[in-house]
A and B are shown apart, each in its own frame.
Chain A
């Protein structure tokens, strides 16, 4: 069953613009992880944010986590055509030994 729900389902922006994707989840989590998937290939890990953290950065990526609202956001700044992909958030609950994913946001960056 889906725990996370990404929003929007699809996003189309111009190269150089910022892209923001949101993820909401239902139960208490240990951490939340964002992944990128290019066209039916494997998932690539982007950022892991623990439940006691509020914000993390990695290059052009910024992730926030609000556990009171059970939501997270992924911001990609100065987007590039190569950022075109589907983005998924996965949540990890203690003792579950699994990531529970939403259905993803499909990002298209137009050159």
Chain B
């Protein structure tokens, strides 16, 4: 099976701009999660989608949004970029459906976003 793919891999944006990141999960996986990784804060959960429904959202401002399509592909959007949004954005997919979470997450290679 092909792994989780994320596009683009690298992105440089200017403060105030907006950005859209894309994630294609492993075939058959309906759960897609997004995480932000920075040296200071570590890995922080952004949101999780299952069958086009957001089931949980992390503690991020409203500038961060996401969606999932009927084919399970997901996008996240960050509007009005700030310098502090520079980070590695990781997408993960899993076969998990219920709340127990006893499924491993498969992570993509990430999108490295630099805001100048």
B43-A88 in contact (CB<8A): yes
Supply 10 further A-B pairs (C-beta < 8 A) apart from A40-B110, A42-B90, A42-B108: A35-B107, A48-B103, A88-B43, A93-B101, A95-B99, A96-B99, A99-B105, A100-B45, A103-B42, A104-B42
Chain B residues 26-47 with CB under 8 Å of chain A are 31, 33, 35, 42-43, 45
Given contacts A33-B105, A103-B42, contact A42 B99 (CB under 8 A): no
Given contacts A42-B90, A98-B56, contact A2 B101 (CB under 8 A): no
- How far is A43 from B37 in the complex, measured between Cα atoms in Å? 11
Contact among A50, A90, A99 with B102 in the assembled complex (CB-CB below 8 Å): A50
Interface residues of chain B, those whose CB is within 8 Å of chain A, are 4, 31, 33, 35, 42-43, 45, 48, 50, 55-56, 58-59, 88, 90, 92, 99-110, 112
Closest residue of chain B to A94, judged by CB? B99
* A-side interface residues, number (CB < 8 Å): 29
